[in-house]
Structure 1
Amino acid sequence: MTATALPPSVVTELDALESESIFVFREVAAEFERPVILFSGGKDSIVMLHLARKAFAPASVPFTLLHVDTGHNFAEVLDYRDATVAALGLRLEVAKVEDYLADGRLRERSDGTRNQLQTIPLLDAINSHRFDAVFGGGRRDEERARAKERIYSLRDEFGQWDPRNQRPELWSLYNGRHKPGEHVRVFPLSNWTELDIWNYIEREQIAL
């Protein structure tokens, strides 16, 4: 059975999600001084970077990329990360969990996983580079804790999230106000589902 093509005037769900995300990227560019995009080479960060490119085309993406490397990545993922950064002429900062293990600032977990060890290297990178807005690929459908996050999610000087200290986001109005030492996590994919991500990758023919 052949699918019927939609007329050009029809706005699909993916179109609406894309438009919202692009709006968020442009709002951050207007409000903040030193935004950064978390980029691991995974599907969510790849879509996020693709949306950032669309937001500022034909200019290049005006943000630095940051990868918190656990040391457990496949070599192919790191090659893809580096090739993407080089092709787009972007700046990449890498914070390595291995460095923190080597000098004793962190210790290996008994279960061998390192995802939970990324927090301190991430916060150190944010503070050392004075990033004031940090784009993350979190989606509300991933878990209950993320479902409570706003698109602009304020973090205190210790990188902590306090749900009582978040601002309402009515009519797509975002408040980026923050004190020195604080920063804002920004989640342009908040309203996407995992299926939306995969459908968008297919529609846009994004390389993985």
Structure 2
Amino acid sequence: MSTQTTTDAYAADAAPAPSAERLSSLDTLESEAIHIIREVVAEFEKPALLFSGGKDSVVMLHLATKAFWPGKVPFPVLHVDTGHNFPEVLDFRDRTVERLGLKLVVGSVQEFIDRGELAERADGTRNPLQTVPLLDAIQKNKFDAVFGGGRRDEDKARAKERILSLRDEFGQWDPRNQRPELWNLYNGRHTVGQHVRAFPISNWTELDIWRYIERENIELPGLYYAHEREVFARDGMWRAVGEVSQPLPHEEVITKTVRYRTVGDMSCTGAVESDAFTVADVVVEVAASTLTERGATRADDRISEAAMEDRKKDGYF
């Protein structure tokens, strides 16, 4: 047999050339997140998903819905209510839970304050007070895995945390004692009393989130889009006027067209001036931004250089 004939015969038996089609970056991120969600549900006995009604938790819930479709999401959602939440976000949370037929577990900061187990902070924010009610809810409901919507681009503390992050018997995180995560291999081993935080969208960016919201046509609270609101300037941010967010005598209240990049408490979250009335507008705006959403709008992250890491060590989200 000639060399040419041999070559032709080999070519005929060879596997077909790979398709030119490739997964888009969003498809890859979605696939990874769904894999992590399914892995956690298969490996743990009683997981829960942190759901505040904010954009990251909404995307997380959308991914969980896709992961188990046409069945229902097989775990409850958990929210720590500070009492300082935006009313429209709580309304969105409740409507979403009802629409999907989910069980909602709520931990209340106010209840701990009323019992004297927590004290109001001098700066008025309650975000750092969420840790105790969160750990209490995890312990009472015996959750051994808790999904969170943290992303590495938000803060340097979140950037170095693993996708499956072990919490000790006190709910604390030790950044110096983290497990290696190679490729898509995740170690969920834990002992009685410990639990694991799982971050399926850890590798996403704020822009990825918004592009995914646009592609999947995901509904969000109206605060994420430009609207007129009474605000006042404090600490370089536009703060909303509300029951738990009142201006001081020297702080002028004005009406501006703003939106929120991240939705925390009214008492610590700033709005940004914006003309982004649609998802497409927000995608363009975020693509041009040079500041992270938390760095630009969260007063609770400005308490110290290591504010987020200090809270996470104590058991924060």
Q: TM-score range by the shorter chain?
A: over 0.9
SS in 1 for 2:49: strand
**TM-score normalised to the size of structure 1?**
0.95
- The answer to whether 1:92 aligns with 2:120 is no
Percent identical: 71
What is the aligned partner in structure 1 of residue 86 from structure 2?
74
Runs ≥4 in structure 1, deviation > 6 angstroms? none
Pick from 130, 135, 155 the counterpart of residue 118 of structure 1: 130
Q: Residue deviations 1:90-146, cap 9 Å, x none?
A: 100000111111111101100001110000000000000000000001000111111
Gaps of 5+ in 2: 1-18, 221-317
Structure of higher RCO (CA pairs closer than 8 Å, 6+ residues apart): 1
2:38 is the counterpart of 1:26: yes
- The count of corresponding residues between Structure 1 and Structure 2 is 202
Pair 140,96 (structure 1): closer, same or farther in 2 beyond 3 Å:
same
Identify the residue that residue 50 of structure 2 maps to in structure 1: 38
1:163 aligned counterpart, secondary structure: coil
Pair 1:200-2:212 in alignment: yes
Report deviation, 1:152.
Answer: 0.2
- Higher Rg of the two aligned structures: 2
Q: 1:148 and 1:116 mapped to 2: Cα distance? A: 20
Deviations 1:1-60 (A, max 9, x none): xxxxxx993311111000000000000011000000000000000000000001111111
Report the Cα distance in structure 2 between the residues aligned to 1:168 and 1:116, rounded to whole angstroms.
Answer: 29
Q: Report the CA distance between 1:169 and its aligned residue.
A: 1.0
Query: In the alignment, what sits opposite 1:3?
Result: none
- Tell me which residue corresponds to 1:169: 181
Distance in 2, matches of 1:136 and 1:57, equals 20
144, 153, 168: which one pairs with 1:156? Answer: 168
Task: Give the structure 2 partner of residue 53 of structure 1.
Answer: 65
Give the superposition deviation at 1:163: 2.4
* Matched residue type, 1:169: E
Given that 1:154 and 1:165 are in contact with CA atoms closer than 8 Å, whether structure 2 keeps it comes out as: no
Q: In the alignment, which residue of structure 2 is the partner of 1:14?
A: 26
Q: CA deviation at 1:162?
A: 1.2
- Runs of 5+ unmatched residues, structure 1: 1-6
TM-score normalised per structure 2: 0.62
Q: Deviations over 1:144-170 (max 9, x none)?
A: 111110000000011111123322111
| Cα 1:172/1:79, change in 2 over 3 Å | same
Equivalent-residue separation in structure 2 for 1:162 and 1:77 (angstroms) = 32
Instruction: Report the Cα distance in structure 1 between the residues aligned to 2:167 and 2:62, rounded to whole angstroms.
Output: 26
Structure 2: distance between partners of 1:58 and 1:20: 19
